[in-house]
Amino acid sequence: MVDKFARGVAVISILLTFGTFGWDHFRGPDLSASPGKYVYLQGWPRIGIPMGFFNGGAKGAIINTGALTLDDGANKFNFKLTLFSSSTDKWTIKSGSAIPEDAPHLVET
C-alpha cells in the first residue's frame, strides 16, 4: 500500500517538474504596453508618449518598430513610429513646456 502511494507521489512530482520546466522555458514573449499619464507635444509631428512595457513570457523580446492609431470614433489616424527616447528624462522642461532632446532614428527593415 505504501509502495503504491510513494510511486503515485513520484509520478505526480515528475509530471509537475516537466510541466514547470516547459512553462518556464518553452513559452515565447508576452509583451504588454501601458501608456503613461502625460502626452508631450512639440509641433508636428513630434508627440511624446511615455510607455511602460511588461514581458509576462519566458523569453526576451526586442521592440524595434511600432505604430500608433488614434481613433476618436469618427476618424482614425495612423502614425508610424520612427523616433524613440529611452526615458522621459530625454524631455526637458523649459518655460513650462516639454522640449524633446534629439533621439536616434529606428532602422527600418
Look at the chain and report how many structural domains it folds into: 1
- Considering the domain boundaries, does residue 82 fall inside one? yes
Whole-Å CA distances, 73 to 48, 77, 80, 81, 86: 22, 11, 20, 22, 31
Higher-confidence residue of 63 and 102: namely 63
- pLDDT value at residue 8: 92
Q: Does any domain span residue 11?
A: no
Is residue 38, in this structure, part of any structural domain at all? Answer: yes
The domain in which residue 52 lies consists of: 29-100
Tell me: pLDDT of 23 over 90. Answer: no
Average pLDDT over residues 1-29: 88
40-45 long-range contacts (CB < 8 A, ≥24 apart) are 40/91, 40/98, 40/100, 41/98, 42/98, 42/99, 42/100, 45/79
Indicate whether 106 belongs to any domain: no
**Is 56 a domain residue?**
yes
Mean pLDDT for all residues in the chain: 76
pTM over 0.85: no
Q: Is the CB of residue 43 less than 8 Å from the CB of residue 97?
A: no
User: Residue 16 falls within a domain, yes or no?
Assistant: no
Residues 33-76 pLDDT 10s: 888 777 776 666 666 777 778 888 878 877 777 788 888 888 88
Question: At CA 106, angle to CA 94 and CA 86, rounded to 5?
Answer: 45
pLDDT of residue 42: 64
Task: Please report whether residue 21 resides in a domain.
Answer: no
First to last CA, the chain: 65
In a domain, 107, yes or no: no
